[in-house]
Amino acid sequence: MRQRFRPDVSYRRPDGGNVVIGGSPLRLFRLTGAGRRIVEAIEQGAELAPGHRTLTDRLLDGGVIHPVPGRDAGPLSIDDVTVVVPALDALPSPSLRMQTVVVDDGSEPRLVTRDPAVTMLRLERTSGPGAARNAGLATVQTELVAFVDTDVELRDGWLEPLLAHFSDPQVALAAPRVRSSPGGAAGVDAYESVRGSLDLGPLEARIAPGTRVSFVPAAAIVCRADAVREVGGFDAELRFGEDVDLVWRLHEAGWRCRYEPTSEVRHRARPSSRTWAAQRFAYGSSAAPLAQRHPGALAPLRISGWSAAVWGLVAIRRPSAAVVVAVGTAVALQRKLRGLPPAEAARLAGLGNLFAGQQVAAAITRAWWPAAALAAIIVRRARLPLAAAVLVPPVIEWVSRRRGASRPGHEPGPDHELGPTLARYVVMRVADDVAYGAGVWAGSVRRWQFAALVPDLTNWPPKRDREPVRPAGR
């Protein structure tokens, strides 16, 4: 079957040569002559003839390229989908217009509907969203199941872009973009309009741990019912993070999961700052059990040892030494990646160190903030770098959004203002990180399991990226 792909925004082929760089995390692919002809066709938007799968599968699974499915590309339609809604104290919107199973998760009083398209299923005790979704899944007879929460508004046309991905038999899950809708507390509304906790941005992506889109919320997802059953469904023991766990188990089982932001749904913001902070705390508390189930997948910081050295020197106010180490990384990278133009090696080393700095700041203000606060009290020399880590990133984000250069995924929608003022944005961003980080620590201490707080110092490029990639049959 002929197929078309498009490069990811990270895609680069320096000087039109035999090396492709891109994906998340960043990877390098050396091409044979046949492989080069295939990527040239992808760059031109041409359909590929059979014989490309070995190369395109590796590029797809590296997040370097993405499929371009037509809306009518697959054999599945709306009739092949059953919607499962875990419900507690509220029924879903009546606009689903599909065969629907509503699982009453032990609500009191009992939920009742007169909609003939809705099948009600009752759990006598409240068991959590994972157990409710599993109960609904057990009744599904269609090939696909859509899990949709009661506080999600489905818009016309949301399903078709997701269905198209199932023309690939390896795709088990496709997820839309979940944007915040107005209706919560004023400060929360403004902040969530530009940095919603469920909004993963406008850029399509594969979904896999350690990548740009490492998870998707189960607020709205479409799955192959048998694939979900194959991995055991949702983990009913998890009251939070059960959706992340499912995605990662599908990935570990060899399935592909796709994020498709051309499909968009809306999620109601929390009604008050207190409930919003409690939600962020709860999300953070899921980190410890997830890290225990998926070792290495939830490291708060994943950078190279060289980049760690650069920013460690910056933290102790040794900028000259940091520059020397940064230049050394560029030289070392050039020697490791023979055939890569020196300018490209220098660019990769520079951007790598800058991106690492962003990750270090995020780890300090999010997962590690209790330790960072203690360090600021004890070590006077650390106060300025730590204050910069807290204040500089949100200021840069706010300014860039106001200039129309928003970070992917968090630009204001058409029904929002430009977001909060600078002061409110910084306060909300700090509160966001503090609430989430407190949840991470609380969950870790509760389980006495601290893998979610341990950094991962990686090497780049991995050894597997240094051999030529050959198309099938070459």
253 within 8 A of 206, measured Cβ to Cβ: no
Weakest mean pLDDT among 109-123, 271-285, 445-459: 109-123
**Six token digits for residue 376:** 């600021």
- Beta-carbon count within 10 A of 451 CB: 18
303 has a pLDDT exceeding 70 = yes
Q: What SS3 class is residue 123? A: strand
Mean pLDDT within 230-258 = 95
Query: Which one, of 208, 263, 260, 199, lies nearest residue 68 by Cα?
Result: 260
Q: pLDDT tier at 96 (50, 70, 90 boundaries)?
A: low
What integer pLDDT is reported at residue 192 of this predicted model? 85
Mean pLDDT over each residue of the chain, to the nearest integer: 87
Question: Would you give the DSSP letter of residue 3?
Answer: B
Average pLDDT in the 55-63 region? 93
209 pLDDT band, cuts 50/70/90, is very high
Q: Which two tokens stand for residue 259?
A: 């994020």
pTM of the full predicted structure? 0.90
**What residue spans define the domains of the chain?**
5-68, 78-293, 301-363
Supply the pLDDT for residue 474.
39
**CB atoms < 10 A from the CB of 204, how many?**
21
The answer to whether 7 and 64 have CB atoms below 8 angstroms apart is: yes
Of 33, 243, 234, nearest in space to 137 by CA: 234
430-464 pLDDT tens trace: 999 999 999 999 999 999 999 999 998 877 666 65
Query: Average pLDDT for residues 55-76, to the nearest whole number?
Result: 84
Q: What does DSSP assign to residue 183?
A: -
The DSSP letter of residue 356 is H
Higher-confidence residue: 192 or 63?
Answer: 63
- Residue 473's pLDDT band (cuts 50, 70, 90): very low
d(CA 301, CA 356): 9
pLDDT at position 44: 93
Domain 78-293: which CATH class?
alpha beta
The average pLDDT across 356-376 equals: 92
Predicted local confidence at residue 417, as pLDDT: 46
Closest C-alpha among 140, 143, 101 to residue 123: 101
pLDDT at 164 over 60: yes
Please report, to the nearest 10 degrees, the dihedral formed by the alpha carbons of residues 24, 253, 243, 411 taken in order: 20
Q: HSE on the CB side for 208, CA within 13 Å?
A: 17
Residue 146: CB atoms within 10 Å: 25
Residue-level pLDDT at 362: 93
Helix residue ranges, H only, 159-241: 160-164, 186-195, 225-230
Instruction: Give the pLDDT mean for 335-360.
Output: 83
DSSP assigned state of 106: S
CA angle at residue 96 from 95 to 100, to 5 degrees?
A: 140
pLDDT at position 54 over 90: no
Q: What is the pLDDT of residue 408?
A: 46
* Cα separation, 357 vs 333, whole angstroms: 18
